[in-house]
Amino acid sequence: MRWAPRYRLGPMYRLRDLDGRARPVAFAVFVLLAIPFALSLHRAADVGWIPSGDDAMIGMRAHGILDGHLPLVGQPSTSHLYGPDEGTAHPGPIEFYWLAGPVRLLGPTAGMLAATALVNLASVLAAAWIVLRRAGPGVALWASVLLAGVLWSEGTALLSDPISSNMGGLPLLALGAAAWAVVDGDHRLLPLATVVGSWVAQQHLAIVAPAAALVAWVLVGLVAPDVARVWTRWRSGEPAEAAGPGGGARGSRQPADGAPSSRGERRWPWLAASVVIAAVLWAPVAWQQLTGDRGNVSAVVDYARTSESPQLTAADAVRQGVRAMGYPPLLVRSDLNGFDLYPGPLRPVEIVVAALGYGALGATVVVWFRRRRTLSLLAATALVLAAGGVVNGSSVPASIEAYRINFYRWTFVVAWLGWTAIGWAAARLALAAAAGRGVRRWALPARRVLGGAAVVAMVAATLVNGFTAGVDDRRRDQEGFGAMRAVAAVAVDEAEGHDRVTLVVRGRSAVLASGSMLMLQLAAAGHDVRLVDGEERFLGAHRVFRPGDDPGDLVLLLTTARNELPDGPGRVAERHDINAEVNSLLREAVVDEGAPLIVAEDADRLLADRGHEAAVREYLAAAMATFEEDPAAVLTNPTLLDLVADGYFASPEFDPDVLADLADALPVATVNDDDLFELRVLTAEELLALRPDLDR
- Between 217 and 568, whose confidence is greater? 217
* pTM, two decimal places: 0.90
| Domain presence at residue 611 | yes
| Domain presence at residue 420 | yes
Position 81 pLDDT exceeds 80: no
Q: Which of 280, 311, 11 is nearest to 136 (CA)?
A: 11
What pLDDT is attached to residue 161? 96
Distance CA 643, CA 108 (A): 46
Backbone dihedral angles phi then psi of residue 270, each to the nearest 5 degrees: -75, -35
23 and 61 belong to one structural domain: yes
538 and 456 belong to one structural domain: no
Backbone dihedral angles phi then psi of residue 502, each to the nearest 5 degrees: -105, 130
178 and 220 belong to one structural domain: yes
Q: Which of 450, 235, 427, 471 is nearest to 337 (CA)?
A: 471
Q: Can you state the angle between helices 171-183 and 208-236, rounded to 10 degrees?
A: 0
| Domain presence at residue 424 | yes
| Domain presence at residue 169 | yes
| Domain presence at residue 588 | yes
554 and 588 belong to one structural domain: no
The boundaries of the domain holding residue 512 are: 478-578+674-694
379 and 498 belong to one structural domain: no
240 and 111 belong to one structural domain: yes
484 and 543 belong to one structural domain: yes
| Domain presence at residue 126 | yes
What pLDDT is attached to residue 438? 56
| Domain presence at residue 256 | no
Handedness of CA 601, 605, 610, 615 (dihedral sign): positive
State the pLDDT confidence band at 267, using cuts at 50, 70 and 90. Answer: confident
619 and 563 belong to one structural domain: no
Out of 473, 507, 526, a domain closes at 473
275 and 402 belong to one structural domain: yes
**CA 605-608-610 angle, 5° bins:** 115
State which of 38-52, 66-80, 584-598 shows the largest mean pLDDT: 38-52
176 and 288 belong to one structural domain: yes
Q: Which residues of 312-334 are buried (b: 16+ CB within 10 A; e: fewer)?
A: beeebbbbbbbbbbbbebbbeeb
Distance CA 309, CA 68 (A): 38
Out of 452, 473, 494, a domain closes at 473
What pLDDT is attached to residue 252? 38
| Domain presence at residue 297 | no
- For the chain, give the mean pLDDT: 88
State the pLDDT confidence band at 108, using cuts at 50, 70 and 90. Answer: very high
571 and 588 belong to one structural domain: no
For the segment 609-629, the average pLDDT, to the nearest whole number, is 87
Position 657 pLDDT exceeds 90: yes
Count: domains in the chain:
3
544 and 649 belong to one structural domain: no
Out of 445, 473, 501, a domain closes at 473
CATH number at residue 485: 3.40.120
